[in-house]
Amino acid sequence: MATSVQISGFDKNGFFNCVSVELKKTITDTESLLFVASTPTEFQKIDEYSQRIFGFFHDIGLNFNSYRVIDKRMPDGEQENAVKKASCLFLMGGYARVQLKYLNEQNLVSSIINHKGVVIGLSAGAINMAKRSVIANPYYPPVSVYNGMGLVNITVIPHFDITKEEFIKNEVLPLTYEETIYGICDDAIIVTQDGVSRCNGTIYKLAQGTVELFTKREII
């Protein structure tokens, strides 16, 4: 099974330091990088962000030899093989449900789960990696809960903003009686490898109707 990495975001200069440190620990094979689009027909945006993120990896010393993108431009027959051949997969941010729908339509979920390398999910991609996925954006309510891919059993809310107290109280905390949710800020990363999940950066744990800053370095 793949090593799974869940991250929230980056800034104009690239990955945040906590994220960079963990990525360099985790990624050892830099032969090829495969981006998986979240909106498979928005080619201009896909090209812009894949080029930028490829550059961010280069900036921290992870010099992939090449990269490709899975979107509507790649023939259906090539996609599964592209997943199997890639050293590292990167599930891009954007629209989580659109991405997951596309992956299911292309029958790629099983190949991603069984990938032997590193699978990174950014924002929407990180949401979809979970067994139980939650979309909780205070600017676009209501909260949405659905079955994700199941690479990991860690449900995350990217771009988590602890100042949105009413939204957290009314929309998110009621969900935490069923399962713990981790609110990951843009400087945060969770790496699940060989059954152990380590984390770095600013993360909040939401469980049993409460929210608190998560200060441990491992999620049990």
Judge whether residue 218 has pLDDT over 90. no
Q: What is the pLDDT of residues 36-71, one digit of tens each?
A: 999 999 999 999 999 999 999 999 999 999 999 999
Q: Is the peptide bond before 141 cis (omega within 30 degrees of 0)?
A: no
Per DSSP, the three-state class of 78 is helix
pLDDT at 201: 96
What total number of domains does the chain contain? Answer: 1
Q: Which domain CATH number covers 69? A: 3.40.50.880
Q: What is the pLDDT of residues 175-213, one digit of tens each?
A: 999 999 999 999 999 999 988 999 999 999 999 999 999
Q: What is the pLDDT of residues 115-148, one digit of tens each?
A: 999 999 999 999 999 999 999 999 988 999 999 9
Host domain of residue 148: 3-219
User: Is the four-CA dihedral 69, 125, 46, 56 of positive or negative sign?
Assistant: negative
Per this entry, what is the length of the chain?
Answer: 220
pTM summary value = 0.96
Q: What is the pLDDT of residues 69-100, one digit of tens each?
A: 999 999 988 999 999 999 999 999 999 999 99
